[in-house]
Amino acid sequence: MLSRSAPRVRSRDFYSLFRSACLQQIRLHGQSTASPRIFPPTINELAAAPLPEDEVTVTGWVRTVRKLKNVAFASVNDGSSGANMQVVLKHDQLEGLTTGTSVQITGRYEQSTKGKGQQDRELKASNVQVLGASDGETYPMQKKYHGAEHLRQNAHLRPRTSSTSALLRLRSKTMSALNNFFDTQSFTQTHPPILTSSDCEGAGEVFSISTSTSSPKGAKDKGGFFGHSTYLTVSTQLHLEALAHGLGRVWCVCPAFRAETSLTNRHLAEFWMLEAEVAFVREQGELMTLTEEMIRHVAKGLLENPTAAAELAPYASPTAEGNDTKIDLPSRWRGLARDNWTRMSYTTAVNHLQHAVSTNLTSFKFPPIWGHALQSEHEKWLAGEFVKGPVFVHDYPASLKPFYMLPSLPSNTVSEGATVACFDLLVPEMGELVGGSLRQHDAAALESQIEKAGMKAEEMAWYVELRKWGSVPHGGFGMGFDRFLAYLGGVENLREVVAFPRWAKHCKF
C-alpha cells in the first residue's frame, strides 16, 4: 500500500520542515525569528506536505460516511480548508460516526490506492475516538442541501458547513493580503472610534447608544453615560482624516453601522468597512490607482492560490442570465487582475448611457440624465456591458455627493463648482464597490460647504480645525468590506459572507 512516488519523512523531520516553512514566511516580514508551531499540522497542511513516515493524529468533524462491503470511508474536515481528509475505516471503527461527529483519528497517511475517487491521499485509521457525538436525527446541519434562510437561522452552527467556512476563510485570506499590501505601501493601520458624537454622512440612519436600564450600575447617568447623544459610527472617514494629518497614510478595517430599513441583500445594519486616507494627494487619480492596486493585489493572490477557486466555486451564484451556469470566479478575478482599468467622468458616463438608449442598444427603467444619480441598472450596464470590467466613474455633480468633497478642477465641459473631485468604482453585476474623493482642505470653503449642507457648524468645528493649522491636500476612499468579499466569492447576498449577519429584525444570538 505504501506509495513509491512520494518520499516519506520521519515525524521529527516533518515538524522541522514545517518549522522552517514558517520561519521563512516570518523572516521576510521583517522579523528574523520564527515562533515554534504550537498545534499539530492541520488537514490542509498535511495534504500539502511530504507524506510522513510515522502515524499521524488528526482531529475534525465527520462530513460524510460511506460504507462499502469490506471497508468504509469517512470525510473529515477540520476547518483548515474546503478539502476533507479521506479516512479509510474498518466496519468496527464506524460506531458513532455520523454527520457532525467530532473525532480524533490516528493512522498512516498514505497515497491512495487506485479507484477511490479524486482523493490522492488517505488516512488508514488505526485508532478512532469519538470526541463529541452528533445525533443524525436532530442535527440541523445535515449533509443534504439547506436553504440560505435555514442556515442563517442556525448561524451558530453555520461555520460547520462547507459554504460558510469557505467564505469565512476567504475573509481571513483577504484580510492578510490587505495587511500585506498596506504594509508595503507604508500605511499605518489604525482603529478610529466606533462611538462618536459626529454623524459623518448626515444621513440620519444612525443607532444611538444608552446604558441599559436593566443594568445594575449604569442607569443613573443624566444625559446618558457620555453626557450627550452618542452614536455608532456610520463611517470612520472624518476621524481617519484627523489621523492622516499626523501619520500621513492611514487605513482601517472597522465595523460601521446603519439603521437601514431597506431589506436588500446588499445592505446590513452592521458591516465592515475598509477605509484609507492619504495626506499630500492632489489628484483623485492617485486614489483610483491606490484602489486599483489594492484590489488587484487581492485578486492576484486568489489566482495564485492553488485551492481558492475550487474551494469557492460550488457556492458561487448563478450568472445573471438565470441559467444554471455559475459565476466563473477565476474569470472574475482575472478581470480585477488586469492592468489599466477604464476611467471616465460622470459626464462621459451619462453620454454613453444616453447614447446606448438612443441607439436602442439597451433600455433602462430610469432615463440617464445629467445631474441625477446613476441607478444600479446604469452602473451594472457600464461595468458589465459597456466596459466589461471594473470602471472608475469620476467627477460627479456636487449636488449628489456629501458636503466634504473638493470641487473639481475647472474644465471645458462642466461649469466651475458643478462637480466634485470624487470617484466610484463600479464592477460588473454588483455596481458600486468603492467610493472615494479628495476632501475640501480649505477651512473657509469647508465652512461654507457645511452651512450649505444644512449641518450644524458647532458639531463640525473640530473637523474644520483640521484645516486651520497645517492643512494639506488629501483624500481617501471607503470600500464595503463584506461587499468586496461577496464580489470575490461570487455570492449575491452579503449575509452569506458574514458570520452573524445583522439587519432589521435580525439580531439573533
Asked if 284 is part of the footprint of a copy of itself (rule: CB under 8 A), the reply reads no
- Minimum CB–partner distance for residue 423 and a copy of itself (Å): 15
C-alpha grid cell, residue 475: 483624500
109: phi then psi, degrees, rounded to nearest 5: -100, 115
Asked if 267 is part of the footprint of a copy of itself (rule: CB under 8 A), the reply reads no
- Minimum CB–partner distance for residue 306 and a copy of itself (Å): 11
Stretch that binds a copy of itself, among 74-82, 399-407, 417-425, 444-452 (CB under 8 A): 74-82
- Minimum CB–partner distance for residue 179 and a copy of itself (Å): 5
Q: Name every residue whose Cβ is closer than 8 Å to that of residue 204 and which is 6 or more positions away in sequence.
A: none
Asked if 294 is part of the footprint of a copy of itself (rule: CB under 8 A), the reply reads yes
Binding a copy of itself (rule: CB under 8 A), the pick from 5, 70, 118, 184 is: 184
Three-state secondary structure call for residue 358: helix
- Minimum CB–partner distance for residue 88 and a copy of itself (Å): 21
Q: In terms of DSSP bridges, do strands 85-89 and 121-132 run parallel, antiparallel, or are they unpaired?
A: parallel
255: phi then psi, degrees, rounded to nearest 5: -75, 145
Query: Which one, of 240, 244, 348, 341, lies nearest residue 285 by Cα?
Result: 341
Cα atoms found within 13 Å of the Cα of residue 445, Cβ hemisphere only? 11
Considering just the CA atoms, what is the radius of gyration of the chain in Å? 27
With the C-alpha atoms ordered 47, 48, 52, 58, is the resulting torsion angle positive or negative? negative
Asked if 338 is part of the footprint of a copy of itself (rule: CB under 8 A), the reply reads no
Binding a copy of itself (rule: CB under 8 A), the pick from 28, 323, 358, 415 is: 28
Q: Which helix (H) or strand (E) holds 113?
A: none
Q: Which CB sits closer to a copy of itself, 22 or 313?
A: 22
Cα atoms found within 13 Å of the Cα of residue 85, Cβ hemisphere only? 36
Three-state secondary structure call for residue 312: helix
List the interface residues with a copy of itself, window 437-476 (CB under 8 A).
441, 462-463, 465-473
- Minimum CB–partner distance for residue 259 and a copy of itself (Å): 4
Asked if 307 is part of the footprint of a copy of itself (rule: CB under 8 A), the reply reads no
Binding a copy of itself (rule: CB under 8 A), the pick from 4, 5, 38, 458 is: 38
Q: Name every residue whose Cβ is closer than 8 Å to that of residue 326 and which is 6 or more positions away in sequence.
A: 313, 316, 317, 318, 319, 490
Q: Which helix (H) or strand (E) holds 307?
A: none
Q: Which CB sits closer to a copy of itself, 33 or 358?
A: 33
- Minimum CB–partner distance for residue 355 and a copy of itself (Å): 33
With the C-alpha atoms ordered 229, 234, 235, 238, is the resulting torsion angle positive or negative? negative
The DSSP code for 159 is G
Q: Name every residue whose Cβ is closer than 8 Å to that of residue 84 and which is 6 or more positions away in sequence.
A: 43, 63, 75, 76, 77
How many residues bind to a copy of itself according to rule CB under 8 A? 151
Can you state the angle between helices 481-489 and 329-337, rounded to 10 degrees?
A: 120
- Minimum CB–partner distance for residue 354 and a copy of itself (Å): 32
Binding a copy of itself (rule: CB under 8 A), the pick from 74, 88, 125, 269 is: 269
- Minimum CB–partner distance for residue 221 and a copy of itself (Å): 8
- Minimum CB–partner distance for residue 61 and a copy of itself (Å): 5
Is residue 182 within 8 Å of residue 275, measured between CB atoms? no
Q: Which CB sits closer to a copy of itself, 5 or 32?
A: 32
- Minimum CB–partner distance for residue 396 and a copy of itself (Å): 23
List the interface residues with a copy of itself, window 193-252 (CB under 8 A).
193-198, 204-218, 221, 225-232, 239, 242-243, 245-249
Burial (CB count <10 Å: 0-12, 13-18, 19+), residue 154: middle
List the interface residues with a copy of itself, window 109-168 (CB under 8 A).
131-135, 138-141, 155-161, 164-165, 168
Binding a copy of itself (rule: CB under 8 A), the pick from 56, 177, 350, 430 is: 177
List the interface residues with a copy of itself, window 88-107 (CB under 8 A).
100-102, 104
Q: Name every residue whose Cβ is closer than 8 Å to that of residue 264 and which is 6 or more positions away in sequence.
A: none
Binding a copy of itself (rule: CB under 8 A), the pick from 64, 79, 326, 372 is: 79
Q: Which CB sits closer to a copy of itself, 287 or 356?
A: 287
- Minimum CB–partner distance for residue 163 and a copy of itself (Å): 11
Stretch that binds a copy of itself, among 3-11, 288-296, 346-354, 427-435 (CB under 8 A): 288-296
Residue type at position 305:
N
Checking phi first, is residue 201 left (phi over 0); if not, alpha (psi -120 to 50) or beta? alpha
- Minimum CB–partner distance for residue 69 and a copy of itself (Å): 28
List the interface residues with a copy of itself, window 490-509 (CB under 8 A).
498-500, 502, 504-509
Asked if 34 is part of the footprint of a copy of itself (rule: CB under 8 A), the reply reads yes
Label each residue of 429-497 as H, E or C.
Answer: CCEEEEEEEEECCCHHHHHHHHHHCCCCCCCCHHHHHCCCCCCCCEEEEEEEHHHHHHHHHCCCCHHHC
Asked if 74 is part of the footprint of a copy of itself (rule: CB under 8 A), the reply reads no
Binding a copy of itself (rule: CB under 8 A), the pick from 5, 7, 39, 114 is: 39
Binding a copy of itself (rule: CB under 8 A), the pick from 2, 90, 150, 280 is: 280
Q: Which CB sits closer to a copy of itself, 25 or 413?
A: 25
